[in-house]
Amino acid sequence: MAEAMKKIECPSPCNFSVKSHDEKEIIEMVKQHAKKSHNMEISEKEIKAMIKPA
């Protein structure tokens, strides 16, 4: 099965977005971004709910 490109955009008023075919990579990057930029812990479940097809 071919992996489709997925993307996620930070809901906060910042310009952060990640695009990848690797969902795990997206989750890791969003987790790090949320922590660094927003001092926020975000769960994998929440991140998955935010992922959209690119």
Q: Whole-number minimum distance, CB 11 to Zn ion, in Å?
A: 8
* Nearest CB to Zn ion, comparing residues 39 and 45: 39
- The Cα 16–Cα 14 span in angstroms is 6
- The Cα 35–Cα 43 span in angstroms is 11
* Nearest CB to Zn ion, comparing residues 4 and 19: 19
Question: Would you call 38 helix, strand, or coil by DSSP?
Answer: helix
* Nearest CB to Zn ion, comparing residues 40 and 54: 40
Site residues (vs Zn ion, CB under 5 A): 10, 12, 14, 16, 37
